[in-house]
């Protein structure tokens, strides 16, 4: 399998549930990203990892907990979410250089609905 994959593609959860989103990239990249896409807001960067180290947390609430065990895998652990957290969660990867020419490649996203 090539590119960036995300599972599950759709997820419905209650506010008291704990679930995890998974992202895997097969591009040999070192940087991985989580974005949130809500219906009426611009794409929001949530977290950045480079060489497995978290380098950016964009003031994300602690009910979202990322994990990056290696450069190919990225998880987003969810617990006690709110209905307003319902959104499309997109994962992306990139080489992880600050060359000014790095390109991010996106997965298909996980559509999350919080009841």
| CB 13 to another protein: min, Å | 20
Nearer to another protein, 17 or 104 (CB): 104
Q: Which of 11, 24, 33, 112 binds another protein (CB under 8 A)?
A: 33
C-alpha–C-alpha distance, residues 6 and 25, integer Å: 9
* Partners of residue 84 on adjacent β-strands: none
Specify whether the CB–CB gap between 63 and 73 falls below 8 A: no
Site string for another protein, 12-31 (x = CB under 8 A): ------------------xx
* Tokens of residue 54, six digits: 């978290």
Q: Among all chains, which residue has been given the structure tokens 């065990």?
A: 69
Tell me which residue of 34, 25, 6, 5 sits closest to 71, measured CA to CA: 25
Interface pattern 49-88 for another protein (x via CB under 8 A):
-x--xxxx--------------------------------
Radius of gyration (C-alpha) of the chain in whole angstroms: 14
Please give the residue ranges that form the binding site for another protein (CB under 8 A): 4, 6, 30-31, 33, 42-43, 45, 48, 50, 53-56, 90, 92, 94, 96-98, 100-109
């Amino acid at each position: 399998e090539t590119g960036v994959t995300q599972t599950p593609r759709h997820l419905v959860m209650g506010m008291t549930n704990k679930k995890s989103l998974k992202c895997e990239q097969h591009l040999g990249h070192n940087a991985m990203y989580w974005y949130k896409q809500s219906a009426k807001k611009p794409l929001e960067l949530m977290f950045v990892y480079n060489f497995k180290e978290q380098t950016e947390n964009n003031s994300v609430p602690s009910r979202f907990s990322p994990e990056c065990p290696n450069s190919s895998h990225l998880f987003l652990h969810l617990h006690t979410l709110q209905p307003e957290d319902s959104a499309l969660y997109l994962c992306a990867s990139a080489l992880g250089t600050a060359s000014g020419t790095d390109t991010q490649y996106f997965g298909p996203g996980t559509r999350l609905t919080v009841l």
